[in-house]
């Protein structure tokens, strides 16, 4: 009766509603979930909650979930395969109706666990060993192309000695971005020089330390491509500290195009990785699985875009 279903006489209804009001009764979500078999919650797994890359993605996901009266449970995986596997098991235990999984490395352990999960999961990157009958969707922005665009832009500016500060090449994202950099150099007939390539993490401190290492070498580069905006900001700090002017002495381009790009001394050129659209698309795919029961697999590719600012283009004011 409290949910306006079933017959009840007006007098009895009035008595029950008054009692509910007097007792401050509220239906419990747990009881509703038991009956409907739905939690109306989605787990969103993020590797680094301090990285601004994910802010717009979270907004995009939340915008779609709100339209469907769903809530987001934000889960911090700490860039750990073990934690990602643990949260997939949490989903198996019905803490949510589905999951959006963001990872730097969709390795075989992760993919196998996703395949075994009976609840819908959407990945936000491409993965190896794709199968036609996979029971999950993925949406991604092409990391290789993004890094290719960044490197090709520097080549177009006349640079040949271009360094790379990448993520770990033992992980999928690091490999893909390194491949994009190397491919752009080869297409321009520029030798790929391993001494110009430094592995780092995706933090400001990592970028700072990596740039210090590059600047200490006798062989000086004229440009740098960074794995993300946070690393690029650290890279720029190292340059300023060493009295290296940007872009006159060293040009810099990064990945992600977060709001931080316009807060630096030289506005940072960056590759827009379509974070908000990535989030919206991932959430839409998940809602199709949950609410419409779609079984057929979907894969969606979004295009990265170069945004040129002062850090890589001397002609800009």
Domains of the chain (ranges; CATH) run: 39-141+275-303 (3.40.50.2300), 143-272+306-312 (3.40.50.2300)
CB 311 within 8 A of CB 240: no
Counted residue by residue, the chain has a size of 317
User: What pLDDT does residue 307 have?
Assistant: 98
Edge-to-edge strand list for the sheet holding 299-302 = 71-76, 41-46, 98-101, 121-123, 137-141, 299-302
Largest CA-CA distance found in the chain, in angstroms, rounded: 90
pLDDT at 37: 72
Percent above pLDDT 90 for the chain: 83
What is the torsion angle, in degrees rounded to the nearest 10, for the CA atoms of residue 116, residue 59, residue 284 and residue 119? 20
Report the pLDDT value the prediction gives residue 7, as an integer from 0 to 100.
Answer: 61
pLDDT band at 9 (very low <50, low <70, confident <90, very high): confident
276 has a pLDDT exceeding 80: yes
Long-range contacts of 106-110 (CB under 8 A, 24+ apart): 106/172, 107/81, 107/172, 109/81, 109/85, 110/81, 110/84, 110/85
136-157 average pLDDT score: 97
**For the residues 272-292, what does the mean pLDDT come to?**
98
At 314, the pLDDT band (50, 70, 90 cuts) reads: low
Indicate the pLDDT class of residue 316, thresholds 50, 70 and 90: very low
Q: How many CB atoms within 10 Å of residue 293?
A: 8
Tell me which residue of 241, 174, 167, 248 sits closest to 207, measured CA to CA: 167
61-70, 203-212, 307-316: lowest mean pLDDT where? 307-316
pTM: 0.87
pLDDT at 10: 74
d(CA 166, CA 163): 10
Could you give the C-alpha distances from 71 to 146, 186, 198, in angstroms and in order? Answer: 32, 47, 40
Q: Please report the pLDDT score of residue 127 as a whole number.
A: 87
The confidence score (pLDDT) of residue 317 equals 38
Q: Is 81 within 8 Å of 107 (Cβ atoms)?
A: yes
80: left (phi over 0), alpha (psi -120 to 50) or beta: beta
Q: Give yes or no for residue 24 having a pLDDT over 90.
A: no
229 φ, ψ (degrees, to nearest 5)? -65, -40
Residue 14 has pLDDT above 50, yes or no: yes
CA pair distance 304, 255, nearest whole angstrom: 9
Query: What pLDDT score was predicted for residue 26?
Result: 58
């Amino acid at each position: 009766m409290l949910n306006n279903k079933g017959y009840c006489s007006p007098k009895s209804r009035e008595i029950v509603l008054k009692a509910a009001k007097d007792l401050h009764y509220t239906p419990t979500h747990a009881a509703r979930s038991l009956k409907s078999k739905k939690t109306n919650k989605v787990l969103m797994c993020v590797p680094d909650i301090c990285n601004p890359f994910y802010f717009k993605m979270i907004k995009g996901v939340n915008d779609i979930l709100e339209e469907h009266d769903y809530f987001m449970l934000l889960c911090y995986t700490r860039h750990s395969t073990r934690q990602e596997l643990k949260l997939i098991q949490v989903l198996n235990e019905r803490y949510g109706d589905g999951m959006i999984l963001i990872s730097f490395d969709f390795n075989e352990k992760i993919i196998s666990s996703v395949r075994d999960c009976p609840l819908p999961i959407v990945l936000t990157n491409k993965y190896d060993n794709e199968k036609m009958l996979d029971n999950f969707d993925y949406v991604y922005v092409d990391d290789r192309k993004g890094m290719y665009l960044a490197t090709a832009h520097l080549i177009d500016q006349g640079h040949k000695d271009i360094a790379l500060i990448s993520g770990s090449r033992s992980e999928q994202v690091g490999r893909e971005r390194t491949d994009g950099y190397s491919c752009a150099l080869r297409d321009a007939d520029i030798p790929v020089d391993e001494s110009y390539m430094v592995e780092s993490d995706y933090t400001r401190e990592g970028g700072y330390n990596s740039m210090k290492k590059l600047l200490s070498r006798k062989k000086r580069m004229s440009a740098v491509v960074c794995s993300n905006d946070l690393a690029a900001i650290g890279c720029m700090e190292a340059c300023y500290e060493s009295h290296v002017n940007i872009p006159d002495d060293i040009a810099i381009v990064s990945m992600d195009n977060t709001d931080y790009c316009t807060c630096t001394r030289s506005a940072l050129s960056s590759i827009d990785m379509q974070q908000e659209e990535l989030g919206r698309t991932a959430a839409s795919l998940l809602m199709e699985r949950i609410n419409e029961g779609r079984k057929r697999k979907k894969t969606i590719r979004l295009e990265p875009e170069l945004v040129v600012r002062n850090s890589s283009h001397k002609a800009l004011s």
